[in-house]
Amino acid sequence: MRCSHISCLIDLGRITKAKEKLDKFNKKADDFVGEIDVADLYIEMNCYKEAIHWFETGYKDYSKDPYWVLRFVYTLFKTNNYSRMNQVIQEAIEEKEEDIEDAKKEEVEENWTEMDKKEFIEDLIVERNQYKNLIKLISSGDTPKFEFETYRTGACYLFGCKRHNHPEYQK
């Protein structure tokens, strides 16, 4: 089962079929895509309980990223789980503040200039500020957009794949 196939089913409005396939995802499978990706697809079907399960399953394994943290917080908001929502935001802010402090201590060198360091710290500050504004953003009715890119050579989404021996991949 590929995320691209399920994403297509969702786009086509075939939610029941998409959910049936997504419910069969197995974390132990060799081609498992990752908990956050699975949670993302459940959000697109408004299956927030399932999305929360997958976010929680992968929560400690992923570094905090504004995209998926926003989607997780949105899901918690939709289920009125405000205490967990605030906890996730606070943990993301704290992690980002630690990253900022670590970056400030890092020494510059030939491949890591003072300008690189300054830009990196600025990016971290922007991310931290995004976390600080998540509740305000979501409370205003903003729905985080689903970001999904197809993989032309690794999955069967419109273009076929090497595994199924489509002619466009034969040399």
% of the chain at pLDDT higher than 90: 60
**In 12-158, where does DSSP find H-type helix?**
15-23, 35-44, 48-58, 66-78, 82-105, 114-132, 134-139
Domain that residue 96 falls in = 63-140
Q: Residues 128, 160: one domain?
A: no
pLDDT of residue 25: 83
CB 52 within 8 A of CB 79: yes
Tokens encoding 124: 């971290």
pLDDT of residue 126: 96
Return d(Cα 103, Cα 121) in angstroms, integer: 7
pLDDT of residue 160: 54
Q: Residues 76, 135: one domain?
A: yes
pLDDT tens track for 145-171: 888 765 554 555 555 555 555 555 554
Q: What is the pLDDT averaged over residues 13-27?
A: 90
Task: Count how many domains the chain has.
Answer: 2
Q: Residues 49, 82: one domain?
A: no
In sequence order, the 6+-apart residues with CB closer than 8 A to the CB of 95 are 63, 64
pLDDT of residue 57: 92
CB 56 within 8 A of CB 21: no
Q: Residues 50, 118: one domain?
A: no
Which one, of 128, 30, 27, lies nearest residue 39 by Cα?
27
Tokens encoding 143: 């729905």
Greater model confidence, 29 or 49: 49
Measured at the CA of 85, the angle between CA 7 and CA 72, to 5 degrees, comes to 15
